[in-house]
A and B are shown apart, each in its own frame.
Chain A
């Protein structure tokens, strides 16, 4: 149980285009999902917290107009990188908290999406 998927696993796009990444909880409902960015050989940096049916909460320094987050259902959150530039190239990982496991604070992670902007 507690499986999180991400799609696509890899994407290459041209500078100036937009890319959408999907994060799905497959066997549980998640009111809260998180989006992280990981640079090579670095730790995970929390970008934003996504709550179903409400606006995402962005961490300091993260451009909300560039990284659009939508959490339309209890099993799906999307991250859209708008007008992508080479510096946006990174490994993006989502995670989700199980609605039934309140109090455990455990997050289940997706397999990540490698974005390369050329």
Chain B
């Protein structure tokens, strides 16, 4: 069965600093991996996704993630944090024959001045 682990329920960075949000997955089939962002009282917005091909995936708002099969990881990074990046971030993997998404528990990113 597929599963997702997000290490660190809360991450705090200074504005301008590197953002690193960790995601490890477990999947019995080649995974499709996703990062979503959620702002308070809103739905989820797709940041980026990995399906096949290039393992370094670039998304919106300057975020990127690298699929590392050997480490079963799909960590999310951004070189320089902005105050507007403060939100909840969810990593997800496709499951149920591809039709469903299994979400991690989320990481709350706080950006400080």
- Partner-B contacts on A (CB < 8 A): 4, 6, 32, 34, 41-44, 46, 49, 91, 93, 95, 97, 103-112, 114
Which residues from chain B contact A32 at a C-beta distance below 8 Å? 99
Known: A44-B103, A104-B51, A105-B32. 8 other contacts (CB 8 A): A42-B105, A95-B43, A104-B32, A105-B99, A105-B101, A106-B34, A106-B49, A109-B36
With contact pairs A43-B90, A49-B99, A104-B51 given, residues A109 and B45 touching in the complex (Cβ less than 8 Å): yes
Instruction: Label chain A's interface by main secondary structure.
Output: strand
A106 and B46: CB pair below 8 A? yes
Residues of A within 8 A of B99 (CB): 32, 49, 97, 105
The range of chain B's interface size is: 20 to 34
- What distance in Å separates the Cβ of A44 from its nearest Cβ neighbour in chain B? 5
Residue among A44, A95, A105, A114 facing the most chain B CB atoms (10 A cut-off): A105
Q: How far apart are A59's CB and chain B's nearest CB, in angstroms?
A: 9
Q: Could you tell me if A112 and B98 are in contact, using CB atoms closer than 8 angstroms? A: no
CB within 8 Å of A: which of B60-109?
Answer: 90, 94, 98-101, 103-106, 108
**B41 an interface residue at 8 Å Cβ cutoff?**
yes
> Contact: A111 with B42, CB < 8 Å?
yes
A109 touches B43 (CB 8 A): yes
Q: Say whether B44 faces chain A, with CB atoms less than 8 Å apart.
A: yes
Q: A110, B46: Cβ atoms under 8 Å?
A: no
Question: Judging by beta carbons under 8 Å apart, are A93 and B46 in contact?
Answer: no
| CB < 8 Å neighbour of A43 from B34, B46, B94, B105 | B105
The distance from the CB of B30 to the nearest CB of chain A, in whole angstroms, is 12
Whether the Cβ atoms of B45 and A43 lie closer than 8 Å is no
Which chain A residue lies CB-closest to B51?
A104
Q: Using Cβ atoms and an 8 Å threshold, which residues of chain B touch A4?
A: 43
Is A34's CB under 8 angstroms from B43's CB? no
A and B contact pairs by CB, cutoff 8 A, 28 listed: A4-B43, A32-B99, A42-B105, A42-B106, A43-B90, A43-B103, A43-B105, A43-B106, A44-B90, A46-B100, A93-B43, A93-B44, A95-B43, A97-B99, A104-B51, A105-B32, A105-B94, A105-B98, A106-B46, A106-B49, A109-B36, A109-B43, A109-B44, A109-B45, A111-B42, A112-B41, A112-B42, A112-B43
